[in-house]
Amino acid sequence: MNSKVVVIGQGYVGLPLAISSAQAGFKVIGIDLNEEKVSRLNKHQSIVEDVSDAELKSVSESGKYQATTSYSIDPTTEIICICVPTPLGSNHQPDLEILKAATQDVGKSLKAGMLVIIESTIQPGTTRDVVVPILEKESGLIRDQFLVAYSPERIDPMNKKFTIKNTPKLVAGLTSGAAVKAKEFYSKFIDQVDVCDSLEVAETAKLLENSFRLVNISFINELAMFCQKIGIDVNDVIKAASTKPYGFMPFYPSVGVGGHCIPVDPLYLAQAARAVGAPSRFIELADEINLGMPTYFVGRASEMLGGLRDKKVLVIGVSYKPNVADVRETPVEALINGLKKSGAVVSWHDDLVKSWNGESSVALGSGYDLAILATPHNYLDLSLLESVPVLNTRGSK
Ligand SMILES: NC(=O)c1ccc[n+]([C@@H]2O[C@H](COP(=O)([O-])OP(=O)(O)OC[C@H]3O[C@@H](n4cnc5c(N)ncnc54)[C@H](O)[C@@H]3O)[C@@H](O)[C@H]2O)c1
């Protein structure tokens, strides 16, 4: 098979997609505006944990994959997948500018019959009302002349059990022909592909999945605050409740959620909900609780030490979740800033992140007034702290 595929955005979503489709036999070009990233990829240096250097080397040397910063898309390309960031802007609200820019660049090279698939997380209606008009305008074609689909990504970086291959994938098309072609594409390297009735169903399903997580994590964090007050460990409560074989799903406490999905995607849903006069109070409250968690732990630390001024505090684990080096939207940043604002002298340890925000990880050791376990990586040996008291953000005792 020599069908040509272009994947726009070579990050956590786009790179694994590009490599999986190359391994399935497609001839893949990965486009990314970040020159350094592209140069590393072409030297077979992976930039995400889920793709190994060896895999990159293998698909590159067999001529199935190449990265580039150029948007000059080969006119014989069959499928273009867009996997660019859809972040929150400075006002903490959805910002589609990157997606619009990438769609404009794709539109300029769009030819009749090509299939464009959006994988970025977006609000219901975005594919139909934002992406398709841009493609029409830039290409001079009308929507019947090309195919458009939406397929949300569910990748969970470093999850060894559920990979791109065995995580079911949703697809929806602007037309049924687009849905059929998108399903045919993904089915070459994904075990189960489910077609949704409309673009809006697939777009909203993705937002539901991550809003469900944010709401429940925030709820468990509230419960953890309650358990702390009455002197029990919330993890014991969760363990006990988890013996119920139906109707319960465990979520665990933390200093808040991070990454580019769970703290972000629900706000896409909340904005869309407000716009049609059906506001999601659950999401808005969950966001507020989530953003308040670092301050809550600054308060707990202050209580433990009788004030934080000039106290030496070691924060352990700064990435947004255990066992990854990813610091995007990490709530630990707000924790560290809050501690510093209260006068503490803060150091941090994270051997996976190593350097961040112009600072470097320090060794785990004694000599601190308090250690705060923020992100519990598996490699950590907390016995090195000796008698330093530990505030565990993953529990309530
Ligand atoms: N990371 C996840 O686990 C995850 C999971 C599901 C869905 N998503 C969604 O997928 C989308 C992409 O997220 P990600 O985590 O892969 O982001 P990322 O930041 O890891 O990667 C995006 C890449 O796009 C590049 N880029 C930015 N603008 C570009 C442009 N105009 N043209 C070409 N490349 C451009 C960036 O340089 C970057 O390398 C987002 O909408 C996100 O919400 C992410």
Q: Are residues 95 and 233 in the same domain?
A: no
On whether residue 380 sits in a domain, the answer given is: yes
Indicate whether residue 169 lines ligand 1 (CB < 6 A): no
Q: Residue 202 falls within a domain, yes or no?
A: no
Shared domain check, 144 and 271? no
Instruction: Measure the CA–CA gap between 120 and 154, rounded to whole angstroms.
Output: 10
* Ligand 1 contact via 124 beta carbon (within 6 Å): no
Domain finish residue from 155, 171, 197? 197
Residue 1 predicted with pLDDT over 70: no
Cα(234)–Cα(329) distance, integer angstroms: 25
Which of 166, 197, 228 terminates a domain? The answer is 197
pLDDT at position 225: 97
Mutate to test the pocket of ligand 1, among 15, 39, 82, 83 (most ligand atoms within 8 A of CB): 83
**Ligand 1 atom with least separation from CA of 101:** 31
Strand partners, 359: 356
Same domain, 192 and 285: no
Per DSSP (E only), the strands in 216-284 are none
Any atom of ligand 1 within 6 Å of the Cβ of 82 = no
Classify strands 355-356 and 359-360 as parallel, antiparallel or unpaired: antiparallel
Using the predicted structure, report yes or no on whether residue 278 has a pLDDT greater than 90. yes
Give the contacts of 261 (CB within 8 A, at least 6 positions apart). 121, 210
Please work out, in degrees rounded to the nearest 5, the angle formed at the alpha carbon of residue 296 by the alpha carbons of 292 and 297: 125
Which tens digit of pLDDT belongs to each residue from 187-199? 999 999 999 999 9
Would the CA dihedral through 194, 195, 201, 206 be positive or negative?
Answer: positive
189 and 217 fall within a common domain: no
Number of domains observed in the structure of the chain:
2
Output the average pLDDT for the chain.
96
Q: How far is the CA of 12 from the centre of ligand 1 (A)?
A: 6
pLDDT of 159 reads 87
Is there a catalytic annotation at residue 227?
no
Q: CA–CA separation, 371 vs 378, rounded Å?
A: 17
Q: Is 90 exceeded by the pLDDT of residue 158?
A: no
Whole-number Å distance, alpha carbon 10 to ligand 1 midpoint, is: 7
In whole angstroms, give the CA distance from residue 318 to residue 345: 16
Sheet with 115-118, strands from edge to edge, namely: 65-68, 27-31, 4-8, 79-82, 115-118, 147-150, 169-173, 193-195
Answer yes or no: do 106 and 222 share one domain: no
Atom in ligand 1 nearest the alpha carbon of residue 152: 7
Write the pLDDT tens digit of every residue in 59-105: 999 999 999 999 999 999 999 999 999 999 989 899 999 999 999 99
Residue 204 lies in a domain: no
Q: How far is the CA of 296 from the centre of ligand 1 (A)?
A: 31
In a domain, 353, yes or no: yes
Residue 29 sits in the same domain as residue 72: yes
The predicted structure's pLDDT at residue 70: 97
Amino acid 395 reads G
User: Is residue 237 domain-resident?
Assistant: yes
**Are 180 and 224 found together in one domain?**
no
22 — phi, psi (to 5°)?
-65, -40
Confirm whether 206 is domain-assigned.
no
Is the domain of 187 the same as that of 234? no
Q: Which helix (H) or strand (E) holds 336?
A: helix 331-341
136, 168, 197 - which closes a domain? 197
Q: 154 is in which domain, residue-wise?
A: 4-197
Residue 266 lies in a domain: yes
Tokens representing 341? 């604002």
Averaged pLDDT, 20-32:
98
pTM above 0.85, yes or no: yes
Q: What is the Å distance from ligand 1's center to 271 Cα?
A: 21
| DSSP codes, 173-218 | ESSHHHHHHHHHHHTTT-S-EEE-SSHHHHHHHHHHHHHHHHHHHH
The finding on whether 99 has its CB within 6 A of some atom of ligand 1 is: no
Nearest residue by C-alpha to atom 30 in ligand 1: 102
Query: CA 313 to CA 348: how far, in whole Å?
Result: 8
pLDDT per residue as tens digits for the range 30-58:
999 999 999 999 999 999 888 999 999 99
In a domain, 257, yes or no: yes
Q: Please report, for the domain that includes residue 267, its CATH number.
A: 3.40.50.720
Q: Is the same domain home to 295 and 351?
A: yes
pLDDT at 157: 80
Q: Is the pLDDT of residue 156 over 90?
A: no
Are 146 and 135 spatial neighbours (Cβ–Cβ below 8 Å)? yes
**Nearest-angstrom CA–CA distance, 246 and 3:** 45
Q: Is the pLDDT of residue 185 over 90?
A: yes
Percent of all residues in the chain with a pLDDT value above 70, rounded to a whole number: 100
Ligand 1 pocket test: which of 15, 35, 38, 153 has the largest number of ligand atoms within 8 Å of its C-beta? 153
Residues 9, 141, single domain; the answer is yes
**Rounded to whole angstroms, how far apart are CA atoms 168 and 191?**
7
In terms of domains, do 260 and 313 share one? yes
CB distance 158 to ligand 1 below 6 Å = no
Kindly state if the Cβ of 50 falls inside 6 Å of ligand 1: no
Q: How many residues does the chain have?
A: 397
Q: Same structural domain for residues 173 and 226? A: no
11 CA from centroid of ligand 1 (Å): 5
The answer on pLDDT for 231 being more than 90 is: yes
Give the residue, out of 7, 8, 13, with the most ligand 1 atoms within 8 A of its beta carbon, to mutate for a pocket test: 13
